[in-house]
Structure 1
Amino acid sequence: MLSEGSDADGLRALFTTWITAPQPDIDVLVPAVLDGAIQYVSSGATEFGAEAKTVLELGERYPGDAGVLAALLLNRISLAPGEAIFLPAGNLHAYVRGFGVEVMANSDNVLRGGLTPKHVDVPELLRVLDFAPTPKARLRPPIRREGLGLVFETPTDEFAATLLVLDGDHLGHEVDASSGHDGPQILLCTEGSATVHGKCGSLTLQRGTAAWVAADDGPIRLTAGQPAKLFRATVGL
């Protein structure tokens, strides 16, 4: 299937075959793929070693799930702290482990694609998925500095994401954290704690807490006594 037609058509045909296969067929195919992955890892081969181990992990966590097979068609990407990827709409994706901040456009059509006991709307999933192959390198957005922030540049107008870092000379006093975008924003503290100051008052954010900042409450300022990191989500216009 992958050798016939375009890459996108081949991926669509193969994924469609897997996701629509009767459960008895999946119950045979998934163990066979897992056996192949075990043999690959045991052979000492390294080119796709990480991918094979991921499939084995998913097979153990989600036995009999066609999503285990779908993982073979996805890029496997490991993100270090402060790194990011940008996924256009229609891209199948999953988190294997770890903590990440996801910013997305407003949508009432988030679809499951497997690796879940919940219902998968297969016809709708196949309708919206984009099967065009994308190299890993093209998924990583460029980053530029803007004041306190590291801005992850994306080609979308719906949202923008910024990492605000408070350390060194930024500690112990109020610092400007105005955004280059007009409109509301969401602040999420992921490390340390910081106090947000706006026109309507102040609010201290501890790690794991978030705040909504209305459009007429900015520009904001931040105060931190110890190093802190906050993610900011705004509209991209």
Structure 2
Amino acid sequence: MERLTGWKKNDAWGSTDAIPNFLGSERSESPVSEVWFGDHIDGPTSLNESGIILRDLIDQDPTAMLGDGLLYSFGPRLPFLMKLIAPAEALSLQVHPTKELAREGYIREDVLGIERTAADRTYRDMNHKPEMIYALTDFEALVGFRVPRKARRLLDGLEGMVADSLRKRLRLATVRSGLKMLIGWLFDEDSPATAEGVSEFAASCAQRLERGTSPSRRTDEMVTRLAAKYVGDPGIIVAFLMNPVSLRPGEAVYIPPRQIHSYQSGLGIEVMASSDNVVRAGLTRKYVDSAQLVEIAEFSALPPIRVAAEHPSDTTDTFLAPAQEFSLSVTTLPAAEARSAYSHESDARGAFKSEASAHDAVSHESDMHELSDDTRAVTIPGEGPRILMCLEGSIDVTTSAPRAHSADHLTLTCGQSVFVGACEHDIRASGRGKLIQCATP
């Protein structure tokens, strides 16, 4: 096993305290949006003890680290990428490509001479990017499109050219390609969704809120909030047409390739195929390619895909998404005393608040000698390469076949993580708390 230090990102939409609080570090002066754990070339996760990056460790012996099966199926790279993610503000309206679209887009931008890491580049690798978000706090998101008849109901009481045009076009959105034509129209230069038109639409939502006549306070509050930050952005109208999703701690939602989405607030664990391909269409200061999004997005009006937990053992819940690259499992060790409360702060920033005292962490080693039968070691279901992170409490992790010059036993506290190679076989855990594992199913 190898302890990991994740790679931090500082996007403007991140929180200054959610991830630092979870990791037990000081509040950051700049927003911390994500921490990556994987071997993607653009997010160099490092090993604590040796200082080398995880990618290099895998390159030294891909068979031992990944196993023959994964090496054959995915090549000499870890197929999944795990992230801590903490939006304090809305992320961009975005979709992720399929493998075919990613390959085509990557080659096209190479031919155009756009540097792989350039700000105006969309395709940074050739992989698809299905993903799943597991909520650590209350987590808000927009995922996919509402059924058109429901969207029409939300227009009741709204005035202005954009609202009137939407009423007419939503009647046609039930026919084949109707939603695609509607969203394409919103981004068209001849659309009434000009800066003035969008501002008028948002003002009408705000007025409806003040009158107390809103059919959906959540939607009108979202539009008002977005309009204050992204004045005149037609992406605000697209967000109005999308499904709002509220996750409680311990719940998960799956985002397939081509599905439009935007995370809004909270703290969560995000797991995905190892890719950084993002096609954006609004609500961002980053590079936007709305024409490309309209071209590749899925425009079926379907409910979000919530992932229910399977229960392979008394202590573990497993979240299986329809993706070959990743699965998540959460193990709650018996008699767990170190429970933690995840909560939203009033400013909608997710923050982790542990109820475990510092004394519990210091005295854990001596406590292990007095553990009851209820806290004996349990086997963590799974095989192959894995990344594990402690979500609460203090967890002792052991492997049955440690590698030379690596640990066979480590103690993890909240926010600490390890990489376990395929050659290390069974993983057993004991202690009190929760442990999340990312692996390939």
Q: TM-score, normalised by structure 1?
A: 0.85
Distance of aligned partners of 1:45 and 1:24 in 2 relative to their CA distance in 1, 3 Å threshold: closer
Offset of 1:174 from its aligned partner? 4.8
What percent of counterpart residues are identical? 31
Q: Does 2:350 match 1:145?
A: no
Q: Aligned-residue CA RMSD in angstroms?
A: 2.6
Alignment-derived partner of residue 153 in structure 2: none
Higher relative contact order (CA 8 A, sep 6+): 2
Aligned ranges for residues 1-237 of structure 1 at < 5 Å? 1-4=169-172, 6=174, 9-21=177-189, 26-45=194-213, 47-136=215-304, 139-147=305-313, 148-168=315-335, 172=371, 173-180=375-382, 182-198=383-399, 199-200=401-402, 201-224=408-431, 226=432, 228-236=433-441
Per-residue CA deviation, residues 154-201 of structure 1 (Å, 9 max, x unaligned), is 222222111222241798455223324x32112122223323212322
Contact 2:389 2:417 in 1 (8 A): yes
SS in 2 for 1:31: helix
Contact 1:37 1:56 in 2 (8 A): yes
Distance of aligned partners of 1:185 and 1:14 in 2 relative to their CA distance in 1, 3 Å threshold: same
Contact 2:193 2:234 in 1 (8 A): no
Larger Rg: 2
Offset of 1:143 from its aligned partner? 1.7
Separation in 1 of the partners of 2:269 and 2:179?
28
SS in 1 for 2:301: coil
Gaps spanning 5+ residues in structure 1: where? Answer: none
Offset of 1:46 from its aligned partner? 5.1
Distance of aligned partners of 1:14 and 1:210 in 2 relative to their CA distance in 1, 3 Å threshold: farther
Offset of 1:50 from its aligned partner? 0.8
Separation in 1 of the partners of 2:288 and 2:214?
33
Separation in 2 of the partners of 1:149 and 1:75?
30
Q: TM-score, normalised by structure 2?
A: 0.48
Separation in 2 of the partners of 1:2 and 1:24?
15
Separation in 2 of the partners of 1:202 and 1:107?
31
Contact 1:40 1:49 in 2 (8 A): no
Counterpart amino acid of 2:319?
Answer: F
Separation in 2 of the partners of 1:43 and 1:90?
38
Per-residue CA deviation, residues 22-73 of structure 1 (Å, 9 max, x unaligned), is 8995321221121121122123235321111111122223333332222112
Contact 1:20 1:122 in 2 (8 A): no
Q: How many residues align?
A: 231
Contact 2:378 2:430 in 1 (8 A): no
Contact 1:174 1:221 in 2 (8 A): no
Separation in 2 of the partners of 1:25 and 1:169?
53
Determine which structure has the larger strand proportion and give its number: 2
Separation in 2 of the partners of 1:164 and 1:109?
31
